[in-house]
Amino acid sequence: GAGVSQSPSNKVTEKGKDVELRCDPISGHTALYWYRQSLGQGLEFLIYFQGNSAPDKSGLPSDRFSAERTGGSVSTLTIQRTQQEDSAVYLCASSLSGTADTQYFGPGTRLTVL
């Protein structure tokens, strides 16, 4: 079946602009995760959804970052007033039911803030 998809694959924006990143999880997966990976670095956990709710938003780097998930499926990660330090690959993953299930990753969105 189809894997996790993300769009856009690449996004170049100017400092101060808002961007919206989209993730479409594997059908039937109730858990959805957002991570950020800076160049040459490991994965930084941002936020987790179980269904439409996000129990813990403390991983979001600042209040410029927000995320939502509607209908228990597609999720969007919004970054307002982008800064150069926001440049990274944003990865989305989904798993069947959360807990310790295997997470399957999407191809990522490479964000470049000029």
- Subset of residues 72 to 91 that bind other proteins, contact rule: CB under 8 A: 91
* Nearest of 62, 67, 8 to residue 34 by alpha carbon: 67
Among 1, 56, 63, 84, binds other proteins (CB under 8 A): 56
Nearer to other proteins among residue 38 and residue 81 (C-beta): 38
φ, ψ of residue 86 in degrees (nearest 5): -80, -10
Show the binding pattern over residues 1-40: x = contacts other proteins (CB under 8 A), - = does not: ------------------------------x-x-x-----
Cα torsion for 5, 110, 9, 49, to the nearest 10°?
A: 20
